[in-house]
Structure 1
Amino acid sequence: MPFLSRIRSPVEVPVAAEEPTDNKNATAVESQDAASDSDGESLSKDAQHGVQKMEATTSVWSRNHLIAAYVLIWVIYSVDTMQQSMSDSLTPYVTSAFQEHSLTATTSIMSSIIGGLLKLPLAKILDIWGRPQGFALMVCCLTLGLIMMAGCNNVQTYAAAQVFYWVGYNGLDYSLSIFIADTSSLKNRSFMFAYATSPHIITSWIGGPLATAFLNGAGFRWGFGTFAIVTPIVCSPLFFLFIWNYRKAKKAGLTPISEHRRSSGQSLWHYVLEFDLAGLLLLCGGLALFLLPFSLYSYQTKGWQSPMIICMIAFGGLLLIRFALYEKYIAPKTFIPFSLLTDRTVLGANILAATLFVTFYIWNSYFQSFLQVVNGLTITEASYVGQIYTIGSCFWAIVVGLAIKWTGRFKWIALYFGVPMQILGVALMIKFRQPGVKIGYVVMCQIFIALSGGALVICEQMAVMAATTHQFVAVVLALEGMFASVGGAIGSTVAAAIWTGVFPQQLQQYLPENEKADYLTIYASLETQLSYEVGTPARNAINRAYGDSQRYMLIAATAILVLAVVSTAVWRDIKVKDFKQAKGRVV
């Protein structure tokens, strides 16, 4: 079958399988043969140990194990996307439970920054220690985050839980992406990425009803607690499948042998330098201190003139400058490979990823609340509209993956279809996401953006992978993920800044005189906003304040998309059919 192909050497090595006294050697020869690519090489000699371990693993596993791995990946994505869809619907109610609805976007800023930046040391873990080890670590972080969310007693604890959750969630998704990149040929990889994320098409419909069921029943805590139990159970089989085949490759003598002899202290210092821990802390701390004030200033009595806000912005900026100087002049090893960033295809794809996430988080941060308050939708109905992007983009990604497989090219899809469709969908929402507009127009815009997202996300991932070799795939995907997550943090920051700067002021202006004194209570809670009956002067005032806030958000999101045109135009037009990256038995 062409779908499940095996890269083999043109020269077959005969094996005397009948000789029972030489089974070990026969297994080694068979494994070496399976590891051979079209050039006759076994494993990548200059690659790091984690890459060589994965190539050894794929060289010895059977066709059934390859199929089982992709089935398990699909199941894991199904559970995680179901949980994520439910979490999106629950988050406004969690923050409202602590009278902090306006912090809905703020809770994701730190988690987006840290979740994105930690992909870079995770790439090192995957390359140095191994793919299964990094995968297991991320499952633990994800589970810990879910446990913390289930037990949180204030919005600060929930925000901390979000950091652990998103580190685990992003890391788990990233680890699975690396598994797919390791076990698929480049021309089929876009389709396999689309296949892996296809559970969104099914599970997105479940998130809203699931959130409603938990809110009306056991409560949001059990919503998170249930998945804290289910997630590690579902992820375990894939981990043990890879460990089983890795040990099989080790017995065959295919895995690399470490020549380092270090003490515990020396090993600790080695990995501190290898992961560039100092640079990571400087960048993460700088971004957090610089971005958070934009969503917190409204809670200070002096606003932007508050000493705390001024200090956070100043120290955040200084840490970012210090980070740049440290990476250039001091760092023994940099976790950002600047040589890769100079490639126009890699840099353009990373900027596109950041731009798309900035835009998405600007218009999506308060979208669920808008649909319930302004359009009068239930939690379930709002989740359906909100999930149009996810469902549509995942479905369209399959079509795009097939198009790349058949044509061997991806730039034309992104430049002539994806980017224009994204700009059209976001720009139209400036007009249609307002009080009194039929929900059908909002749905139409979501469909446009979904088709665009399905094309652009696949194309940007293909761009960074096609521009490098197999040993750097984990790094370039980590860079792309970092740009996306930092872009998401910037988008959440802009959304929170617009919301806190516009919504309460417009609310105070529009509310009837007898309700003006309660504007802070209304501002702080989604449930309070929904408590006013549709058609009353107070509810109309709330809707108008929502409309004004959304207009500013969408204008900002549309303007930022200019960067998407430039960043896509600079890509090289690479034909992916001409490349062979992965080794062993692959798709």
Structure 2
Amino acid sequence: MPLLDARDAPSYGTISREEDSAYEEEQLLQNHHETDGELSDGLDEAQEGVRKIEAINMTWTTRSLMIAYCSIFLMAFCTSLEGQTVASLSAYATSAFSKHSLVSTVLVIQNVVNAVIKPPMAKIADVFGRFEAFCLSILIYILGYVQMAASNNVQTYASAQIFYAAGSTGLQILQQVFIADSSDLLNRAFLALLPEFPFLITVWLGPTIADAVLRSSSWRWGYGMWVVILPAAFLPLALSLLLNQRKARRLNLIRPSRRKRKRSLAAVIRKTWYDLDIGGLTLLSTAVTLLLVPLTLAANTKQGWQTPSIVIMMVLGLVCLVATPLYESSKKLAPKPLLSLHLLKQRTALAGCALAFWYFMAFYFSVQPYLNSYLQVVQGYDVGTAGRVTQTFAFTSTIAAFGVSILIKYTRRYRIFVTIGCVVYMVGIALMLLCRQEGATHFQVLGTQILVGFGGGLVNVPVQLGVQASASHQEVAAATAMFLTSMEMGGAVGAAISGAVWSHLIPRKLYQYLPDEVKPQVGEIFGKLTKALEYPMGSPARHAINRAYQETMNRLLTFSIIVTIPLIPLSLMMTNYKLDQVRHRDPEPIVLI
């Protein structure tokens, strides 16, 4: 009589032998009736989406769960290929509007949305269900593609990032939530990498596809083609979740809450407001947006920081930032808070989220958002080569994360790998500053990317695992969202500061170094990557442009080294859990005969 535990089994809810449908449903019904009295109270306390996935987990067979994971991989492959492709298009899209410097602003918007959308998407998954949340993310994703492909100015293109980033990050968090639902801690480190494995292939295919799109068509088609591809990739997972959800309903495993009754429209709106914590979401997103976007906009206005609108945005952002934790800690205003702030009272969760913040900020000083442009201008790489070098981080970090997930499974420990990863990451960034110079060999440029990616792979997965280990099953989605939100917040801050530094230094250095006859072209050279590339290598103008890019990149790398200083102390603050002994505070194990 095998024991199937939502926490301890090799795969959550998996039936270890193949059974025919009639026998399986009979046993599920028998088990459900036998345990109904024991679990009903706990299920009623859980939100609707959590009760749905717990019921669905009781219906998985080995075959159906394998199909679900294959579907996750297929969708991850599609989104990974899309991400690697469009990463090389952003500079050309903004250059088409003579706003190349706003690449960082676009990334700030993406990271802001990435940061604030994870908690509400986790809440939507908990309140309405995993299937419903997946469908919503796909719809928002498609809207982003359509708007970017049709945009005729930089404002429309930038606003499309809201939908694009919301859909993208929604799928990211939901994939991790699904894996956390259906795996135990020892196997989760490996399974959590499933959405990352496609990077091993797409990191090389994406830039090549982008280069082909730019040569044969335009950057617009590079966005528009995913409107058809992405829904087709999602279809197998949608059918898998939907069929098992219907199966659970047929077996009466999904029951309405005992408190459920007819409500007025006002009561439904009020309940949805509190369930999704709309007030907390509004405060958080407003605070992050108003604080970070002005960092890049100030450098692109004549008055800079003295611009009244920018000052007002910063003041309002600070007010909203202070108000957010006060609002979230109020039981009356936020009975079901967006941010589970009490998790941060645990040392491991607090250290893990802080580590993710500084780690990703350093990434946005060293790899994103201007490395691709730097490689094309200073090193003379074509679009495809520059894209492949930039995405080497994703390739090597995926390999490192795969290796560390195997080590975690057999050592039952995770913290030692976090500390080692932090050391490697810091050394790699320091070598970037030393080796990434004009005229550097391809080996020097690529080698430092490999080292930084290896360190990043050792950091990311183990830290997320440690944060999840400190939470109950009901709070796994919230803990995962908080970790990923902290990471994206670091990325947003890094992208904003990078944009401010780039927009401030590049024009000033171009005026300083360019020959007098070329100085009238500074605005166009700064605004268009294609204009900078027109000047041949070795010419006085190109030498001046390369020097401006190089000195600005060195400044960003110096900032990157500084913000990695807290990483090692934070890694040592995390509790050194023995993962096979961690027990979440969940209902008793369910036995399937």
TM bracket (short chain): over 0.9
State the AA in 1 paired with 2:499. Answer: A
In the alignment, the residues of structure 2 paired with residue 485 and residue 432 of structure 1 have an alpha-carbon distance, to the nearest angstrom, of 28
State the AA in 2 paired with 1:291. Answer: L
Alignment correspondent of 2:404: 400
Alignment correspondent of 1:97: 96
Structure 1 residue 265 displacement after superposition:
2.2
In the alignment, the residues of structure 1 paired with residue 11 and residue 205 of structure 2 have an alpha-carbon distance, to the nearest angstrom, of 37
Structure 1 residue 237 displacement after superposition:
1.6
Alignment correspondent of 2:334: 332
State the AA in 2 paired with 1:79. Answer: C
- 1:270-318 C-alpha deviation (Å, 9 max, x unpaired): 1112222122212211221111121111222222222222222222212
Within the candidate set 379, 383, 390, 1:379 is matched to 383
Structure 1 residue 327 displacement after superposition:
3.1
Alignment correspondent of 1:191: 190
Within the candidate set 411, 416, 439, 1:412 is matched to 416
Alignment correspondent of 1:429: 432
CA contact (8 A) 2:12 2:57 kept: no
CA contact (8 A) 1:43 1:52 kept: no
Structure 1 residue 8 displacement after superposition:
8.1
Structure 1 residue 489 displacement after superposition:
0.8
The normalised TM-score by structure 2 is: 0.92
1:292 match: secondary structure: helix
In the alignment, the residues of structure 2 paired with residue 301 and residue 507 of structure 1 have an alpha-carbon distance, to the nearest angstrom, of 17
In the alignment, the residues of structure 2 paired with residue 564 and residue 335 of structure 1 have an alpha-carbon distance, to the nearest angstrom, of 27
Alignment correspondent of 2:568: 565
In the alignment, the residues of structure 2 paired with residue 370 and residue 232 of structure 1 have an alpha-carbon distance, to the nearest angstrom, of 35
Structure 1 residue 136 displacement after superposition:
0.8
Closer, same or farther in 2 for the Cα pair 1:143/1:506, shift >3 Å?
Answer: same
361-370 or 329-338, larger mean C-alpha shift: 329-338
Alignment correspondent of 2:134: 135
2:512 is the counterpart of 1:509: yes
Unaligned runs of at least 5 residues, structure 2: none
- 1:526-584 C-alpha deviation (Å, 9 max, x unpaired): 00000000110101111100111111101111100112122211100011112356977
Closer, same or farther in 2 for the Cα pair 1:160/1:55, shift >3 Å?
Answer: same
2:192 match: secondary structure: helix
Map residues 91-130 of structure 1 onto 2, 5 A cutoff: 91-130=90-129
CA contact (8 A) 2:11 2:183 kept: no
Closer, same or farther in 2 for the Cα pair 1:32/1:245, shift >3 Å?
Answer: farther
Map residues 47-66 of structure 1 onto 2, 5 A cutoff: 47-66=46-65
- 1:424-445 C-alpha deviation (Å, 9 max, x unpaired): 0111111222212223212111
Closer, same or farther in 2 for the Cα pair 1:82/1:584, shift >3 Å?
Answer: farther
1:194 match: secondary structure: coil
Closer, same or farther in 2 for the Cα pair 1:408/1:62, shift >3 Å?
Answer: same
Structure 1 residue 24 displacement after superposition:
6.9
Alignment correspondent of 1:520: 523
CA contact (8 A) 1:404 1:410 kept: yes
- 1:254-282 C-alpha deviation (Å, 9 max, x unpaired): 12323322222211111112222122212
2:87 match: secondary structure: helix
Closer, same or farther in 2 for the Cα pair 1:542/1:111, shift >3 Å?
Answer: same
2:319 is the counterpart of 1:318: yes
Closer, same or farther in 2 for the Cα pair 1:27/1:305, shift >3 Å?
Answer: closer
State the AA in 1 paired with 2:565. Answer: V
In the alignment, the residues of structure 1 paired with residue 27 and residue 465 of structure 2 have an alpha-carbon distance, to the nearest angstrom, of 38
CA contact (8 A) 1:32 1:254 kept: no
State the AA in 1 paired with 2:481. Answer: A
State the AA in 1 paired with 2:121. Answer: L
CA contact (8 A) 2:28 2:58 kept: no
Closer, same or farther in 2 for the Cα pair 1:219/1:32, shift >3 Å?
Answer: farther
In the alignment, the residues of structure 2 paired with residue 150 and residue 43 of structure 1 have an alpha-carbon distance, to the nearest angstrom, of 50
In the alignment, the residues of structure 2 paired with residue 59 and residue 370 of structure 1 have an alpha-carbon distance, to the nearest angstrom, of 52
2:290 is the counterpart of 1:289: yes
Closer, same or farther in 2 for the Cα pair 1:526/1:63, shift >3 Å?
Answer: same
State the AA in 2 paired with 1:117. Answer: V
In the alignment, the residues of structure 2 paired with residue 76 and residue 141 of structure 1 have an alpha-carbon distance, to the nearest angstrom, of 15
In the alignment, the residues of structure 2 paired with residue 371 and residue 353 of structure 1 have an alpha-carbon distance, to the nearest angstrom, of 27
In the alignment, the residues of structure 1 paired with residue 409 and residue 392 of structure 2 have an alpha-carbon distance, to the nearest angstrom, of 26
2:354 is the counterpart of 1:355: no
2:280 match: secondary structure: helix
CA contact (8 A) 1:31 1:59 kept: no
Alignment correspondent of 1:260: 260
In the alignment, the residues of structure 2 paired with residue 305 and residue 516 of structure 1 have an alpha-carbon distance, to the nearest angstrom, of 26
In the alignment, the residues of structure 2 paired with residue 477 and residue 202 of structure 1 have an alpha-carbon distance, to the nearest angstrom, of 26
CA contact (8 A) 2:12 2:184 kept: no
Alignment correspondent of 1:485: 488
Alignment correspondent of 1:247: 246
Superposition RMSD on alpha carbons, in Å? Answer: 2.7
Structure 1 residue 155 displacement after superposition:
1.0
In the alignment, the residues of structure 2 paired with residue 358 and residue 585 of structure 1 have an alpha-carbon distance, to the nearest angstrom, of 45
Closer, same or farther in 2 for the Cα pair 1:138/1:32, shift >3 Å?
Answer: farther
In the alignment, the residues of structure 2 paired with residue 123 and residue 384 of structure 1 have an alpha-carbon distance, to the nearest angstrom, of 33
Alignment correspondent of 1:579: 582
In the alignment, the residues of structure 2 paired with residue 159 and residue 504 of structure 1 have an alpha-carbon distance, to the nearest angstrom, of 22
185-194 or 437-446, larger mean C-alpha shift: 437-446
Structure 1 residue 27 displacement after superposition:
4.7
Structure 1 residue 111 displacement after superposition:
2.3
Closer, same or farther in 2 for the Cα pair 1:460/1:42, shift >3 Å?
Answer: farther
State the AA in 2 paired with 1:331. Answer: L
2:338 match: secondary structure: coil
CA contact (8 A) 1:58 1:585 kept: no
Structure 1 residue 453 displacement after superposition:
1.1
State the AA in 2 paired with 1:120. Answer: P
State the AA in 2 paired with 1:316. Answer: G
In the alignment, the residues of structure 2 paired with residue 536 and residue 4 of structure 1 have an alpha-carbon distance, to the nearest angstrom, of 65
CA contact (8 A) 1:58 1:584 kept: no
In the alignment, the residues of structure 2 paired with residue 535 and residue 104 of structure 1 have an alpha-carbon distance, to the nearest angstrom, of 27
Alignment correspondent of 2:373: 369
1:409 match: secondary structure: coil
CA contact (8 A) 2:11 2:182 kept: no
CA contact (8 A) 1:186 1:580 kept: no
Closer, same or farther in 2 for the Cα pair 1:4/1:316, shift >3 Å?
Answer: closer
In the alignment, the residues of structure 1 paired with residue 287 and residue 464 of structure 2 have an alpha-carbon distance, to the nearest angstrom, of 27
User: Paired residues, what number?
Assistant: 575
Structure 1 residue 26 displacement after superposition:
4.8
1:195 match: secondary structure: coil
2:463 match: secondary structure: helix
State the AA in 2 paired with 1:56. Answer: A
Closer, same or farther in 2 for the Cα pair 1:311/1:393, shift >3 Å?
Answer: same
2:421 match: secondary structure: helix
Alignment correspondent of 1:305: 306
Closer, same or farther in 2 for the Cα pair 1:219/1:585, shift >3 Å?
Answer: farther
2:252 match: secondary structure: coil
Unaligned runs of at least 5 residues, structure 1: none
Structure 1 residue 194 displacement after superposition:
1.7
